[in-house]
Amino acid sequence: MKEQTPRLWTRSFTLVTVATALGAAGGIAGGFALSFLVFDETGSTLASALIVAIQLVPNIFVPFLVAPVMDRLPRKAFLVGGDICNAVVYAGMGVWLLLFDFSYVGYLGVSILLACLGSIDGLAYTSIYPELIPEGAEQKGYAVSSMLYPILQVVMAPLAAVLLDTLGVPLLLLAQGALSLAAALTESFIRVDESGKTNRGRYTLSMWRSDVGEGLAYLRRERGVRGIYEYMSVTNGMASGYAPILVAFFRTMPGMTAAMYTLFSVAEFAGRTVGSALQYKIRVPKKKQFGFVFLVYQTYELMDMLLLWLPYPFMLANRAACGFLGNNSAILREAAVQRYIPEHLRARVNALFETMLTAACSVCALAVGALGEVLDYRLCVTLCGAAAMLACWLLIWGRRADVRKVYEKEDASTQ
């Protein structure tokens, strides 16, 4: 008898998808406006870079601090409250710019606040999202979420450019505040059973330490989840590290231009979109998922190693293939890992992963940047791909029995 996939588009899943689209659309438009605002007001690339750098800092410690509390309380409140706070801050910035002059120091402070709110909101979304997907439909659910942002990016980025010229930054920020408020209102109608999360007692520092220790103990015990997270930290760290190298390559290599570099994102978007659509239509059996993702990881790292040695048309094909393969493996990984992690530990484990990922990206960006000062740019990217491939063999294949258990965990309804 053919296995029936549960219906995905329930009330709660539809609502969270609509809310995510509203919040992401506002975030893309507002982020676009703010990136121009800082440079227009200061005329300094260093000032703009400082804003970007300081926004990464909260991702290291905020999820780690908040996650234990989030695992004890209803996550829906964090999700709705986060969007309400975002709406207030963005609308407040819009009103300020309508009435007063731009303040760089003030904007620096608001950027830190927004980054903190974004970290909390993202952690709440990651932790509650699996509860809104009907059991057995995880692959299709994560295919939808992975498709949403790239499509909105393509639609909203040019629209934001037009609105920036016609409306100006203040009104664009007010519009973002309205979209964030609409997202919060939509999320408030989500139905999710969090009756077990009713801890309203005094939360002490010793309880926080105990909760963090429980999350760390889980990661130490679960070699499969830890292997996946460690490998993802390495491969994303290497990708973050060689991103400036790619820019330098296209700026200095004869025959290459910045416009040619921008087509990389178009090729990757096309590959990711096709990959998400395929995952939505075709369900990969659990028994085959580990072999599939391991093959994808190897292919992806090999493509990175070859990237800058290829003629330009093959570079674009390379990025399209990586977008396609990367999104396929990401959907399967996210569905498997979030299904595998116990619900009462999910926020803490995801927060630890976020900390690992941000730290790895920061360290690798500095290391690869320094390497680019002494080595050929093509060799730098090749070494990054080789390092990630070695990590894949050590952390994924070397722990294949444990990693396979994560991908092959059966749904409760079929056990």
Q: Which of 28-32, 67-71, 368-372, 390-394 has the highest mean pLDDT?
A: 390-394
CA distance 224 to 189: 36
pLDDT at 411 over 60: no
Give the mean pLDDT of 239-258. 82
Q: State the Cα–Cα distance between residues 318 and 121, nearest whole angstrom.
A: 34
User: What's the pLDDT tens digit per position in 295-304?
Assistant: 999 999 999 9
At 1, the pLDDT band (50, 70, 90 cuts) reads: very low
Which residues are CB-neighbours of 272 under 8 A, at least 6 positions away?
146, 147, 150, 323, 324, 326, 327
**Residue 6 DSSP symbol:** P
Find the range with the poorest average confidence among 92-101, 127-136, 218-227, 355-364.
355-364
> In this model, does residue 186 exceed pLDDT 90?
yes
Find the DSSP H helices in 167-257: 169-187, 205-221, 223-252
pLDDT of residue 53: 67
Give residue 409's identity as a one-letter amino acid code: K
Q: Which residues contact 355 (CB under 8 A, 6 or more apart)?
A: 59, 60, 61, 63, 64
Strand ranges in 234-343 using DSSP code E only, listed in sequence order: none
pLDDT at 86: 92
| Higher-confidence position of 175 and 362 | 175
Which pLDDT band, with edges at 50, 70 and 90, does 154 fall under?
Answer: confident
Distance CA 415, CA 411 (A): 6
Q: What is the model's pLDDT at position 327?
A: 87
∠ Cα 366 230 148 (to 5°): 85
- Per residue in 373-403, pLDDT tens? 888 889 999 999 999 999 999 999 999 999 9
Mean pLDDT taken over the chain: 86
CA distance 270 to 150: 9
Give the model's pLDDT for residue 48: 65
Distance CA 245, CA 272 (A): 23
d(CA 3, CA 380): 47
The answer, yes or no, to whether residue 233 has pLDDT greater than 90, is yes
The token pair at 343 is: 């619900």
State residue 159's pLDDT score. 81
Please tell me the predicted confidence (pLDDT) of residue 196: 66
- The 8-class DSSP code of residue 396 comes to I
pLDDT score for 314: 94
Q: Which of 308, 274, 288 is nearest to 377 (CA)?
A: 308
Condensed to tens digits (0 to 9), the pLDDT of residues 74-92 reads 889 999 999 999 999 999 9
For residues 325 and 300, the answer to whether their CB atoms sit within 8 Å is yes
Tell me the CA distances in angstroms from 112 to 17, 56, 89, 94, 167, one per residue in order: 27, 9, 12, 17, 26
> Residue 2: pLDDT band by 50, 70, 90 thresholds?
very low
Task: Check residue 80 and give left, alpha or beta (phi > 0: left; psi -120 to 50: alpha).
Answer: alpha
Spatial CA neighbour of 405 closest among 222, 234, 143, 282: 222
Reported as a pLDDT band with limits 50, 70 and 90, residue 139 is: confident
pLDDT beyond 90 at 318:
yes
Return the percentage of the chain with pLDDT > 90, whole number: 37
Q: What is the pLDDT of residue 200?
A: 59
Q: What is the mean pLDDT of residues 248-268?
A: 81
Q: Cβ(36)–Cβ(157) under 8 Å?
A: no
CA distance 389 to 297: 8
Whether the full predicted model's pTM is greater than 0.85, yes or no, is no
Does residue 224 register a pLDDT over 90?
yes
Measure the CA–CA gap between 102 and 97, rounded to whole angstroms. Answer: 6
Count Cβ atoms below 10 Å from residue 191 Cβ, excluding itself.
10
